[in-house]
Structure 1
């Protein structure tokens, strides 16, 4: 009698557009399906964001390079998102070129938060900014990156004769202010403070139809789990799905799809305000019945869920990387699904 086929592991919903040509999250969770990890998952992408680049601001950066003024005005560039790197990289490749960019890189330091943003920026550095040094690969948060910037950039200006130029902070429309506050803090000696100019390169919106797409993905996954042709339907009912959240944008739609919040006409201390001003209330959460847990790639999104909606994610990755998310989920499941894990 032929053996029953092995069912696919439960999905881990990645609320992002799949990166090309390779996606580190897909590769990580796919490879874990054949390793000794106790809990295995099938990576499933659900795009949530659409980005609109600010062409007028990208043109300002382009002109600084082309006119040879980027190194005169700034001592380095700060990146805290892959999207900012994407817009900057496209501009450098298409509008600046290798020769001009390479010459400018002799006087620029590059700072990137976390391994994913670091890798994206390092690809451009290798081809177009070869004389720049890049820092921040091990920094999982803006707070940690700010500490690296203070130590490194100030070490380049340890003589009174060397003028400390400001840094150019290339950001999205929605961003935290931890880096500017840390670099210019009044608690620092004046000579240690670092000025910076923020410049918005892109705006982010929720992709139309995201909530419906995510709801359908959940329904399809639950239907497949309960399918009568599933070789082990009872085991499937107890398998937990995960959703990995990469940005505060789209959190409300995600929570609605998971049926964790609802509209209410009464505003009290237990209620929160949605993105469109509607009062929302968190529903009572029966952890034993919940079949989809929430992981965030860092504290920014975790705090947004807590403060805006009163929802505590189950895992917050210490480092915004596939490994950080994976180890957090593994620890959460091993210890019996009790409380939020930061790993």
Structure 2
């Protein structure tokens, strides 16, 4: 009953450390009559810690009876919620209008999604929230949906867009890391079908992944196309993926219209990896556009790779583009005359 709110909070904490059988009625009765939200929160946490049944129901009854919308009160609700309470907790979202309280609800549902199955009602709420004007709600909603299998294609795309739009928010890093763990670190399983805006997340995820997955070659082709369209960090993603799966990178180059970006990623590999996984350069130059052929020649010039000599000589004699022939011949000459 102390007028000092902090003293009252400490008293609730102390009671929570005693035998629940002795203090259950004291705590429950006080919870029903207490008006100071920090003390209510301390009471709820003490009851939850003591394993006193009915804590969640008592808080819900108090919230409805007194029409409480305080974020601190909803934090208290979240602290004592169990898996069986998640549907009712999600249902509270539409009953409140306070933006911070809504964020408390979504953040706690996202936290539960990491350890508990996502209930259909929670999934439905998360899909709706992705289209809410309050963008701070998008990350927890997207995080919830990353733990749901069988999402339709438009929803998956929307999830990626919301995560990509969040920039450097650490919650996005955690969400992507959890998705990778759920898929054994397989990038292809996760990112095939993602929009180009996810290129930055892919670049980040490649450093955490253990493998690109069975669809690695297709993922390389997809991201190479993103690079062609100018998607931010698509080239970074290709370079990071190349370190994980150089063989899949070389496989992806065959018949790939955007293979110049794959060649560039290959050129950045350590020398031993390049030697063990060499693309068919003659095929590349036979299929490349003049612009890509010139870009490829510049890449090989930087490498000073003597094993490219035959390919360069072939291009010098067979290309139908005078500029490409000249560039190839100049590189051939440099390779021959190099010390």
Structure showing the higher strand proportion among its residues: 1
TM-score if structure 1 supplies the norm length? 0.18
Which structure would you say has the larger RCO, counting Cα contacts within 8 Å and 6 or more residues apart?
Answer: 1
Structure showing the higher helix proportion among its residues: 2
Instruction: Mark the structure with the bigger radius of gyration.
Output: 2
TM-score if structure 2 supplies the norm length? 0.19
